[in-house]
Amino acid sequence: MTLADEIRADYRRAFDEVGEVVYIRRYTGAGANPPFFDTAAKGRVTGYEPHELIGTIQQGDRKIVLLADDLIDAQFALPVTTNDRVVVRGEAMAIMAADDSTRRVAGVLVAYELQVRG
């Protein structure tokens, strides 16, 4: 087992305990009510600490760490982008930033870190 595999397993165990199901919403058309589909993934939703409110991060924004394997297993076309939305507890929120670098191990994407607003 590689280090990346071990860390992915650690994330899975942790998210099974403290995570929740969130949905990445991808729109497939245009217009007033564009068609979309939702893909479920385990995520950890948190707020930002006051000292983290810098740059584009605003009070009320949330951070979501999202397991990449759930999206891959569901055959979701990566990457997650700012054109997608995330649905948490029934509320659709804009993705302001989708970081697929911070939570990589030896080049393997373990989790996305999303900055969301809404």
Return the CATH number at 15.
Answer: 2.40.10
| Model pLDDT, residue 47 | 95
| Model pLDDT, residue 1 | 85
Q: What is the pLDDT of residues 20-32, one digit of tens each?
A: 999 999 999 889 9
Residue 12's H or E segment, with its range, is helix 3-18
| Model pLDDT, residue 107 | 95
Tokens encoding 22: 């969130």
pTM confidence score: 0.92
Read off the pLDDT of each residue in 49-75 and give the average, rounded to a whole number: 94
Residue range of the domain that includes 39: 3-117
Q: How many domains does the chain have?
A: 1
Q: Which residues of 26-63 are buried (b: 16+ CB within 10 A; e: fewer)?
A: beeeeeeeeeeeebebbbbbeebeeeeeeeebeeebbb
Q: What is the pLDDT of residues 91-117, one digit of tens each?
A: 999 999 999 999 999 999 999 999 999
